[in-house]
């Protein structure tokens, strides 16, 4: 999954710091209509309310693992098995697909369908669960969306292909027409999934995460599904929009819609080789702040970063983001972060590479305050910058 036209992390910071207008950079996401501080506060309130319902599962013969609250997926015990459940959405990338179709005549709806499944199972596998069933949610602003048969067929093909790649069944779903709620030309893509944690494997919830662990960063394929609002804002400001050429000569719209990597087969391979990570972070919203998703008081020191995909570098430059903003908005070339037990990082890296992923043995977990230190780009994130809350 080699990237094209990438710069090193050191080159990224040099460009960002020389070209950026810091005030614009820090405000870029809010200017695009996304305020994570407010969103996270709402999430914490919802998770706290959800915790109050945990005992209700006992009446069904199950048990909620409240330690999974605030994790990428919820874990429960039922009928002697440990299951994980997640619901996830694509965000606004389907708008980009529609705009690219209209402006460039290129149908990429198979890719955004694939992206949605990748986002769902990417969260599911973070707790060690192998995806079993994925359900789809296709909400349109008008039932006439499906009259565009070429787009509808691409959507189905991409979703099916992603399920096959993830090794799970497409169970069903819902396809409401939400006139007045969803814009007439748009489709909202989301879904839910149930996964099975293998026998003999404890859910990966961070209990064994500790100082001395080694951090392996697995490469992204590009934008994935986070930071899309910024990408849309940037494209809207460019004279040629999504037809704008980036460094390699590709059109911006083509590069933005590169399909996301699907990481669940990698996690399954690690578990099969008894290389159980102590923690897994799916790098989505919040960018590399997600390295410290665990609430533990630990420092995550990164000494080496993977190359930055050219499409992300282009967006960083055009949005005039400084380095802290870039690395807390986009994935910047990191799709998944694996914390490995001391001395096993090289083996984890080898399994990732054998599975077709670029992977970097990037750093270590240290005792100390909860923070992320990205040494190659001079960025430090304090623990207070990421509080998803909700742990029991």
User: Each residue of 267-326: pLDDT tens digit?
Assistant: 999 999 999 999 999 999 899 999 999 999 999 999 999 999 999 999 999 999 999 999
155 and 268 both lie in a single domain: no
94's tokens? 């389907």
**Cα–Cα distance, 351 to 357 (Å, whole number):** 9
Same domain, 184 and 320: no
Q: Is residue 255 part of a domain?
A: yes
On whether residue 1 sits in a domain, the answer given is: no
Which range, of 11-20, 33-42, 72-81, 99-108, averages the lowest pLDDT? 11-20
Q: Which of 154, 175, 196 is the last residue of a domain?
A: 196
CA angle (70, 75, 76) in 5-degree steps: 135
pLDDT of res. 32: 53
Residue 105: its H or E element: none
Structure confidence by residue, pLDDT tens digits, 227-255: 999 999 999 999 999 999 999 999 999 99
**pLDDT, position 31:** 57
Residues near 187 by beta carbon (within 8 Å), at least 6 away in sequence = 94, 98, 138, 139, 140, 141, 145, 155
Query: pLDDT, tens digit, for every residue of 170-225?
Result: 999 999 999 999 999 999 999 999 999 999 999 999 999 999 999 999 999 999 99
CATH number at residue 55: 3.30.1330.10
Same domain, 217 and 186: no
pLDDT of residue 363: 98
295 in the same domain as 210: yes
Of 196, 219, 237, the residue that ends a domain is: 196
Number of domains present in the structure of the chain: 2
Q: How confident is the model at residue 387 (pLDDT cuts 50, 70, 90)?
A: confident
When the pLDDT of each residue in the chain is averaged and rounded to a whole number, the result is 90
Residues 306 and 326 in one domain: yes
pLDDT score for 18: 34
Provide the whole-model pTM.
0.88
Place 44 in a pLDDT band, splitting at 50, 70 and 90.
Answer: confident
Q: Tell me what pLDDT residue 49 has.
A: 87
Domain-ending residue, one of 196, 222, 239: 196
The per-residue pLDDT for 3 is: 34
Joined together, the tokens standing for residue 230 give 């910024």
Confidence of residue 16 (pLDDT cuts 50, 70, 90): very low
User: What is the distance between the alpha carbons of residues 244 and 254, in angstroms, rounded to a whole number?
Assistant: 10
Which residue range is the domain that position 366 belongs to? 9-34+205-385
Residue with tokens 């400001």: 237
pLDDT (0 to 100) of residue 22: 35
**Are residue 152 and residue 179 in the same domain, yes or no?**
yes
């Amino acid at each position: 999954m080699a990237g094209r036209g990438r710069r090193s992390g050191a080159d990224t910071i040099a460009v960002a710091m020389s070209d950026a207008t810091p005030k614009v950079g820090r405000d870029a996401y809010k200017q695009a209509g996304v305020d994570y501080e407010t969103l996270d506060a709402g999430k914490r309130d919802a998770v706290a309310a959800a915790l109050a319902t945990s005992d209700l599962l006992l009446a069904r013969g199950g048990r909620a693992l409240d330690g999974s609250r605030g994790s990428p997926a919820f874990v429960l015990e039922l009928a002697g098995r440990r299951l994980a459940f997640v619901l996830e959405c694509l965000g606004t990338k389907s708008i980009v697909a529609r705009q690219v179709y209209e402006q460039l005549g290129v149908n990429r709806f198979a890719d955004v369908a694939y992206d949605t499944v990748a986002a769902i199972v990417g969260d599911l596998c973070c707790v060690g669960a192998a995806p079993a069933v994925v359900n789809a949610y296709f909400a349109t602003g008008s039932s006439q969306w499906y009259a565009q048969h070429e787009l509808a067929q691409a959507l189905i093909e991409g979703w099916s292909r992603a399920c096959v790649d993830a090794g799970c069944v497409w169970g069903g779903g819902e396809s409401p027409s939400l006139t007045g709620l969803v814009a007439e030309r748009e489709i909202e893509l989301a879904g839910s999934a149930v996964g099975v944690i293998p026998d003999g494997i404890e859910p990966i919830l961070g209990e064994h995460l500790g100082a001395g662990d080694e951090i392996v960063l697995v490469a992204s394929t590009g934008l994935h599904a986070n930071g899309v609002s910024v990408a849309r804002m940037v494209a809207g400001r460019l004279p040629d929009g999504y037809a704008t050429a980036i460094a390699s000569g590709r059109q911006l719209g083509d590069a933005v819609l590169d399909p996301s990597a699907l990481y669940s087969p990698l996690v399954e391979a690690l578990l099969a080789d008894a290389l159980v990570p102590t923690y897994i972070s799916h790098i989505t919203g919040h960018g590399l702040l997600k390295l410290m998703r665990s609430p533990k008081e630990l420092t995550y020191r990164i000494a080496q970063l993977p190359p930055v995909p050219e499409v992300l570098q282009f967006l960083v430059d055009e949005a005039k983001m400084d380095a802290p903003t870039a690395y807390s908005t986009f994935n910047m070339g990191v799709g998944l972060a694996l914390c490995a037990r001391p001395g096993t990082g090289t083996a984890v890296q080898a399994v990732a590479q054998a599975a077709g992923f670029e992977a970097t043995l990037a750093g270590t977990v240290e005792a100390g305050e909860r923070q992320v230190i990205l040494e190659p780009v001079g960025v430090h994130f304090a623990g207070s910058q990421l509080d998803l809350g909700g742990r029991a």
